[in-house]
Amino acid sequence: MFKGSLVALITPMTADGALDEDAFARFVEWQIQEGTKGIIPVGTTGESPTLSHDEHKRVVEIAVKVSAGRIPVMAGAGSNSTAEAVDLTRHAKLAGADAALVVTPYYNKPTQEGLFLHYMAIADAVDLPVFIYNIPGRSVVDMSVETMARLAKHRNIIGVKDATANLTRPLHTTAACGHDFIQLSGEDHTALAFLAAGGHGCISVTANIAPRLCSQMHAAWHHGHISEAMAIQQRLVPLHDAMFCETSPGPVKYAASLLGLTADHCRLPLAPVAESTKIRVKAAMISAGLLN
């Protein structure tokens, strides 16, 4: 169910900082029409740290309603509080999501045993497929392959979003967890290399603004058209660079605003992007053929 080009959705907001539910619904529909194979609401790109619990749950509900079973929904449900993560995962199931994406607990810096117990508590509490989200750059903890292998034995823990950019990791994860354990890259630049190392797809930031290109790249790869996939990848590299020249999702929200999809507002503590960032983002979009 989860493979190919998936997108870590931005959360549109109005000028006064409120959720723009209509813009979000339109954005989800546009993603589906452009060929995205799965959507991930309220992850880091969706500014989940600054959403209230009610807002978080509402975004998941809209994503499920609009997708209407056409593509799978993996709802962000992570927290550095295990009880809170259980609550968000339970809501994801009730809302009709197909899976939950649970980030390694940030700030607390749990041990490997703490990580194991955290995910086991969630998987035991809610009968819903769970993806581990391993992103040491944001959470300051790195789940080991050995811990992941222990967790993969639980029937509800079915995969990982790997944002380590370590291309030896999927090789070792396959060896430890098996070929059925779904490995999704969380790093746009290495998406193709991740597939070559045994991955199944990518949860992309860039796909927010270039969903068709990202989907075409994955389709080309899966059909064995390697040179075509690599050509698309090369076309996307300046765009990937621009999306992370400041803290995400600032640049990608600005890019989406240039396409008329959403406003560019982020909630504090994320500041409006710098003028130099705007120039770089716009240039990258022109280079990729997204703007005239």
* Active-site residue (options: 3, 37, 57, 161): 161
Annotation marks residue 161 as catalytic = yes
- Listing DSSP states for the chain in one string gives ---EEEEE----B-TTS-B-HHHHHHHHHHHHHTT--EEE-SSTTTTGGGS-HHHHHHHHHHHHHHHTTSS-BEEE---SSHHHHHHHHHHHHHHT-SEEEEEPPTTT---HHHHHHHHHHHHHH--S-EEEEE-HHHHS----HHHHHHHTTSTTEEEEEE-S--TTHHHHHHHHH-TTSEEEE--GGGHHHHHHTT--EEEESGGGT-HHHHHHHHHHHHTT-HHHHHHHHHHHHHHHHHHTSSSTTHHHHHHHHHTTSS-----TTSPPPPHHHHHHHHHHHHHTTS--
Half-sphere exposure of 198 (CA within 13 A, CB side): 21
Gap between the Cα atoms of 204 and 44, Å rounded:
12
| CA-CA-CA-CA dihedral for 114, 48, 170, 35, to nearest 10 | 150
Select which of 3, 119, 133, 253 is catalytic.
Answer: 133
Active site residue 3: no
Q: Which residues are catalytic?
A: 133, 161
